[in-house]
Amino acid sequence: MFQLKLVPQKTSIPFVNWRNPAMACSAALVVLSMILVFTPGLNFGIDFRGGILIEVQTEGPANLSDMRSNLGNLGLGEVSLQEFGSADTVLIRIEKQPGDAAAQQVAVSKVRAALGDGVDYRRTEFVGPKVSGELIEAGAIAIALASERPDCNIVATDSNTNDLMMAKKNATTHQRENIHFYLSNWYQNIPSQEFDLIVSNPPYIKQDDEHLSQGDVRFEPELALVAGADGMQAINIILGNAKQYLASNAYLLIEHGYDQKQLVHEAFLKHDFKQLKTFQDLSGQDRMTMGNNQIN
């Protein structure tokens, strides 16, 4: 029988003699790697640098090749597309444009013009960099309100201790001293008082929503996203207790899902709120509803 020998029986490889050249080569590669990191720098993606996130739905299966071609000619830098959940839904990521919020809006307008009227814009978001501690979203709404209205006293709540500490840090960084922070599950630990405005971005996703297993939301805590079978659990809690904390003719403003306008309106009316008004996001989707605590 023919036998194949790949290694001779008397094999003598001088590994020990080669150790010094091997160590020198490894050290050189480590130094080279560090040089490559600090000279051209790491090539961070949109998730790290920040940018624009647009979810669109086409009338039929999306032609990603044509969409990439159209958007790639707009001069917006890095643009990536991926199928999101179904063949007719596409997630578009665009790198952050130089300039302020107006520059980001110009980029969104260019995308809408390039894609035309044959798509439904389900959401548009401006994504902040995830690697910068100073830009973490904790307390963002309270800090924004405190910045716009330094004459107002702001009360901010969170049920997570770590998030609340980060919000306090962010408020200090932005020198906002008119914010009072409370560790509270909704109204539970808020001192008895009346507010002229309550603003909330609660969880509003249905527990069986297909998007929970797709994209970036897979890495978000479920408590911050899911609100029961119809996505209305948290919103109903907020509405059900709001009048105890609202002054006469004060307002309640709640963020909700793009397809929840009718449910939210019914909930506002159930709790006797008046002058309902719904606001749209940059994609033209109904995303926020406001009601007045009108007391006769």
Which tens digit of pLDDT belongs to each residue from 209-250? Answer: 766 666 655 555 565 667 777 888 889 999 999 999 999 999
Give 279's contacts (C-beta < 8 A, 6+ positions apart): 286, 287, 288, 289, 290
Report the pLDDT value the prediction gives residue 275, as an integer from 0 to 100: 94
Give the chain's radius of gyration (CA, Å).
27
Report the pLDDT value the prediction gives residue 296, as an integer from 0 to 100: 63
pLDDT tens-digit series, residues 54-99: 888 888 898 888 898 889 889 888 888 888 778 888 888 888 888 7
Report the pLDDT value the prediction gives residue 222, as an integer from 0 to 100: 61
Tally of helices (H runs) and strands (E runs) in the chain: 8, 10
Closest C-alpha to 119, from 76, 53, 72, 61: 61
Report the pLDDT value the prediction gives residue 7, as an integer from 0 to 100: 61
Q: What whole-number distance in Å separates Cα of residue 286 and Cα of residue 278? A: 6
Structural domains of the chain ordered from first start: 46-127 (3.30.70.3190), 133-292 (3.40.50.150)
Report the pLDDT value the prediction gives residue 184, as an integer from 0 to 100: 86
Report the pLDDT value the prediction gives residue 256, as an integer from 0 to 100: 92
Give 92's contacts (C-beta < 8 A, 6+ positions apart): 52, 53, 54, 55, 56, 67, 71, 79, 80, 81, 111
Mean pLDDT per 10-residue interval, the chain, length 296 residues: 62 68 72 54 51 85 89 88 84 83 82 87 66 49 87 87 84 87 87 90 79 59 69 90 91 91 95 94 88 83
Q: What whole-number distance in Å separates Cα of residue 118 and Cα of residue 104? A: 22
Report the pLDDT value the prediction gives residue 10, as an integer from 0 to 100: 65
Characterise 36 by phi-psi region: left (phi > 0), alpha (psi -120 to 50), beta (else): alpha
Report the pLDDT value the prediction gives residue 271, as an integer from 0 to 100: 94
